Amino acid sequence: MVNSRQLFQRAISISVLFVAVVAFALNAAANTAGKYMIAAANPLAAEAGYDVLAKGGNAVDAAIAVQLVLTLVEPQSSGIGGGAFLLYYDNKKQEVSTYDGREMAPAAVTENHFLKTDGKPLKFYEAVVGGKSVGVPGALAMLEKAHKERGQLPWKSLFDAAIVHSKNGFAISPRLHFLLNRDKYLKTKSAAATYFYNTDGTAKEVGTILKNPELAATFRDIAANGAKALYEGSIASKIVQAVKSDIENSGVLTLADMKNYVAKKRMPVCAPYHGYKVCGMGPPTSGGVTSLQILKLLEKQNLSTISAGSANAINLISEASALAFADRGLYLADKDFVDVPVDALLSPTYIKRRSALIRAGETHVPYTAGDPAKQASTLMPDNAIELPSTSHFSIVDANGNAVSMTTSVENVFGSRLMAGGFILNNQLTDFSFRPSKDGVLVNNRIQAGKRPRSSMSPTLVLNADDTLNMAIGSPGGSRIIGFVTKTIIGVLDWGLDMQSAINLPHHINRNGTLDLEKDTAIADHKTALEAMGYKVKIRTLNSGLHGIRVTAQGLQGGADPRREGVVLGN
């Protein structure tokens, strides 16, 4: 077995200017392992997690190390200023646990938070940029909760790599430089402008060593004092000050909001699919329920007899996705505040009724939501915008335990505000800007203490005997759901290995336009799909799938070539 970490270290030393190319090249060399494995969106973050596993740490320990380094090297996507969902597989007990680290709305918000004085909603970026969009970050509290219940190595030791990289710096990758260069809002915020940009306003170049001593100090404080340092100490004060002192768009976050945040352990949402058990995260994310609905709606379609990437396969998957998204828009939200009929949406009777609407070779998009719990007439659909700035990683440790974790600051560089050396989220814009329409309420309206709906879809697939089969997930905004289900179908229906399933061209239908991935073979199906009745758009679909599968030959990993991630294992 090739030690993929040694390959990684040799390759990464060639040149910091070619991180993305090196990372992609590693996929083939690192896609199998016998003991433990990690697939993550950045080489330095993956290496940090790998080192923890090599020292005898478990999947939760490694997840903490990965998230901390991602805070530094992938600030556009995730960090301790954002939120996350984590699925954990306990190999000894053969059971799945789920942890909710989604952000919470401050106590002072009202349902009119994103409405102008004339009652019209703010434009998206009017709401996003600045303190108004910042929710109480939950990722760190969630990781500490999981570590107290599951961790093996000391909490403090898991910060070593993140502290060293923050102090010594890391090389700006081509992807980070591209995003810095493209973003027109980040440079308007002083802390971010000083850190990411030259004095003339241009983005720091690829290969520039970016040091973050303030973040190193933040990590040292949290390592010594636990998550409490973020939620009650000087770091909390910095967060609140950044949110409230943002002149253009100040927020209402307080120290009390920070102190009162609670990470939650929730029941997983699971359903059978072709003899396997697919488990996801329940509300407040829509990802688990919607992904499972799509799979269940397709279960009788015999996809294994239809070619992957064919127009017929795209048609069937699109119809199931559109049906599920119709329900998602009406029902899915924070179940601590509203009634979400999860069981009814996944009941065999309802699935059978909805799947009967699928007709091969034609489309009936857009669909209206079904009414499995007799409450549709009391609700208004939500069309909250979710943009693709998120990260996902999958981990299997030497004892067979696994983590599938999706983590986000929402938009690229979140609110564009920084505090303590890290980016603050803009997750409040995942709520519906309109709380109601014509007097009918939206389930995903903003309320004090509520968690915004998400599409993050960390997923674990179990075999019939409850042993682990797969850990998978992706970034991508509301398209996450389609990216993840396509990959699961690729493995379970079409018999592909993990990397090949991840590499499959993307096609997404969210109950409207059918998106086909640009510069792939399926773009040639545009005419055929339009003949079926679809409105088709060819576009870049930038996922970040990272997955691991347990096979008889060992662990089999995959990293999305659309980003700069790697698979490391031994």
Q: Across residues 479-487, what is the average pLDDT?
A: 98
Query: What is the rounded distance in angstroms from the CA atom of residue 513 to the CA atom of residue 156?
Result: 48
> What Å distances lie between residue 75 and 41, 46, 327, 415, 423, CA to CA?
12, 15, 33, 11, 6
Q: What is the pLDDT of residue 386?
A: 64
Which has the minimum average pLDDT: 22-36, 90-104, 110-124, 504-518? Answer: 22-36
Establish whether 390 is a catalytic residue. Answer: yes
| pLDDT tens-digit series, residues 244-284 | 999 889 999 999 999 999 999 999 999 999 999 999 999 99
Does pLDDT of 20 surpass 80?
no
Residue 405, C-beta contacts closer than 8 angstroms, at least 6 positions apart:
63, 67, 84, 85, 86, 87, 392, 393, 394, 395, 458, 473
- Name the strand (E) or helix (H) holding 63: helix 59-73
Does pLDDT of 12 surpass 70?
no
Query: What is the rounded distance in angstroms from the CA atom of residue 70 to the CA atom of residue 407?
Result: 10
| pLDDT tens-digit series, residues 84-139 | 999 999 999 999 999 999 999 999 999 999 999 999 999 999 999 999 999 999 99
> What Å distances lie between residue 555 and 43, 397, 404, 461, 544, CA to CA?
19, 10, 15, 14, 20
Is residue 276 a contact partner of residue 492, using CB atoms and an 8 Å limit? Answer: yes
- Confidence band (pLDDT; 50, 70, 90) for 33? confident
Does pLDDT of 148 surpass 80?
yes
Q: What is the pLDDT of residue 561?
A: 96
Q: What is the pLDDT of residue 388?
A: 61
- Name the strand (E) or helix (H) holding 194: helix 190-196
Q: Rounded to a whole number, what is the distance in angstroms from the first to the last CA of the chain?
A: 7
Q: Alpha helix locations (H) across 356-424?
A: none
Report CA dihedral (293, 502, 467, 267) to the nearest 10 degrees.
-40
Cα 516 to chain centroid distance, Å, stands at 21
Q: What is the pLDDT of residue 10?
A: 32
Q: Alpha helix locations (H) across 341-433?
A: 342-345, 348-355
Q: What is the pLDDT of residue 30?
A: 40
Q: What is the pLDDT of residue 385?
A: 67
> Percent of the chain at pLDDT above 90?
91
Residue 6, C-beta contacts closer than 8 angstroms, at least 6 positions apart:
none
Compute the 3-state secondary structure of the chain and give helix, strand, coil in percent, each to the nearest 5: 40, 20, 40
CA gyration radius for the chain?
22
Does pLDDT of 215 surpass 90?
yes
Q: Across residues 409-415, what is the average pLDDT?
A: 97
The tokens for 85 are: 């969902």
Average pLDDT across the chain, whole number: 93
Q: Across residues 299-316, what is the average pLDDT?
A: 97
- Confidence band (pLDDT; 50, 70, 90) for 497? very high
Query: What is the rounded distance in angstroms from the CA atom of residue 220 to the CA atom of residue 287?
Result: 34
Nearest to 414 by CA among 93, 183, 147: 183
Partnered with residue 406 across adjacent β-strands are 85, 392
Q: Across residues 152-162, what is the average pLDDT?
A: 98
Residue 464, C-beta contacts closer than 8 angstroms, at least 6 positions apart:
275, 276, 277
98, 218, 390, 485: which one is catalytic?
A: 390
Q: What is the pLDDT of residue 504?
A: 98
| pLDDT tens-digit series, residues 347-388 | 999 999 999 999 999 999 999 999 999 998 899 888 776 666
- Tell me the three state secondary structure of residue 383: coil
- Confidence band (pLDDT; 50, 70, 90) for 389? confident
> What Å distances lie between residue 213 and 6, 83, 296, 532, CA to CA?
28, 23, 49, 57
For the entire predicted model, the pTM comes to 0.94
